[in-house]
């Protein structure tokens, strides 16, 4: 279990997380609680996550959700370096406000940069940027259609067989879930009207993607 800040991230904070598995090792990590990112009047907070898996090792990075409060500003970077025969199970959930408390993220900044290298070769790269009037943007049909929680699951190796196993559970999903595979990995995207619904969908997908049991904190 990784002990995150729990008390929350404020503007100008910087956190660097560096996780690596040695040859043949198996490591599963989760966080003790959801991470909270509070409003920032100045510079954005920075969160840099580096994941590395050596030959024949398996790394599962399964943190609990990140909650962004109104006017939060954060720039997150996730760099993944896998040996050709290493495996990875990764998930990240971002929640824009605490709807159960009647709170929503209306304005702020969220920048999320992902890079995945396998055998030294870049096989996946993307950057998501939401800023300004985030509440209005999330309401657009082409972005989140009013959803307040998004998530991503990355599965390496992943192929069409993994995709089909996940799609077999599609009738049970409470939110929107899309899954595809290319370049030797599979990726699932999530969007839901609330965090609880997305979390349930994520648990279903992770269970279908891997035979390993999820951390007990995920099931509480």
In this predicted model, what pLDDT tens digit does every residue of 77-98 receive, in sequence order? 999 999 999 999 999 999 998 8
What are the tens digits of pLDDT across the range 28-64?
999 988 899 999 888 999 999 999 999 999 999 999 9
pTM of the complete model: 0.94
Instruction: Identify whether the C-beta of residue 9 lies closer than 8 Å to the C-beta of residue 74.
Output: yes
In the numeric block, which tokens belong to residue 142?
């082409």
Determine the pLDDT at residue 5.
62
* SS3 letters across the chain: CECCCCCCECCCCEEEEEEEECCCCEEEECECCCEEECECCCCCEEEEEEEEECCCCEEEECCCCEEECCCEEEEEEEEEEECCCCEEEEEEEEEECCHHHCCCCCCEEEEEEEEEEECCEEEEEEEEEEEECHHHHHCCCCCCCCCCEEEEEEEECCCHHHHHHHHCCHHHCCCEEEEEEECCEEEEEEEECCHHHHHHHHHHHHHHHCCCCCCHHHHC
Instruction: Identify whether the C-beta of residue 116 lies closer than 8 Å to the C-beta of residue 171.
Output: no
pLDDT at 217 over 90: no
- Spans of all domains in the chain: 14-213
| 135 vs 101, more confident | 135
Residues 22/213/196/141 CA torsion (nearest 10 deg): 60
pLDDT at 6 over 60: no
What are the tens digits of pLDDT across the range 114-166?
999 999 999 999 999 999 999 999 999 999 999 999 999 999 999 999 999 99
R_g of the chain, CA atoms, integer Å: 17
Backbone angles phi, psi at 86, to 5 degrees: -85, 165
State how far the Cα of 130 lies from the Cα of 122, in Å rounded to an integer. Answer: 24
Per-chain mean pLDDT for the chain: 93
């Amino acid at each position: 279990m990784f002990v995150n800040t729990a008390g929350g991230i404020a503007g100008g904070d910087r956190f660097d997380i560096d996780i690596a598995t040695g040859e043949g090792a198996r490591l599963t990590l989760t966080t003790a609680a959801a991470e909270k990112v509070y409003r920032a009047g100045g510079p954005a907070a920075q969160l840099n996550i580096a994941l590395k898996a050596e030959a024949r090792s398996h790394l599962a990075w399964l943190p609990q959700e990140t909650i962004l409060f109104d006017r939060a500003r954060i720039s997150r970077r996730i760099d993944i370096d896998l040996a050709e025969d290493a495996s990875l199970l990764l998930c990240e959930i971002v929640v824009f406000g605490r709807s159960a408390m009647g709170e929503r993220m209306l304005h702020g900044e969220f920048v999320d940069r992902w890079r995945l290298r396998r055998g030294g070769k870049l096989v996946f790269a993307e950057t998501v940027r939401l800023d300004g009037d985030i509440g209005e943007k999330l309401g657009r049909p082409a972005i989140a259609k009013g959803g307040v929680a998004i998530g991503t699951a990355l599965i390496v190796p992943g192929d069409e067989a993994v995709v089909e196993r996940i799609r077999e559970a599609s009738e049970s999903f409470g939110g929107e879930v899309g899954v595809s595979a290319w370049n030797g990995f599979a990726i699932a995207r999530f969007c839901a009207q609330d965090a609880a619904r997305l979390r349930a969908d994520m648990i279903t997908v992770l269970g279908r993607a891997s035979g390993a049991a999820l951390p007990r904190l995920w099931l509480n």
